[in-house]
Amino acid sequence: MDSFFFDPEVERLPPESTRILDLRAKPYPDGRRVRIELDLTPFLKRPLIELALTDKNDAQCGTASLVEPMGWKLELTMHIRSQSNSPSDPAPEQYSLLAVLSYPDLGEIDRRSITFDISTNG
Q: Name the pTM for this structure.
A: 0.85
For residue 40, give the nearest of 22, 14, 52 by alpha carbon: 22
- Let me know if residue 62 belongs to a domain: yes
pLDDT in tens, 72-103: 999 999 999 876 555 555 566 899 999 999 99
Distance CA 91, CA 118 (A): 9
Decide if pLDDT at 18 tops 80.
Answer: yes
Q: 87: domain CATH number?
A: 2.60.40.10
pLDDT in tens, 28-63: 998 899 999 999 999 999 999 999 999 999 999 999
The pLDDT of residue 10 is 83
Range of the domain at 83: 15-115
The pLDDT of residue 37 is 98
If one counts the domains in the chain, the total is 1
Task: Round to the nearest angstrom and report the end-to-end CA distance of the chain.
Answer: 29
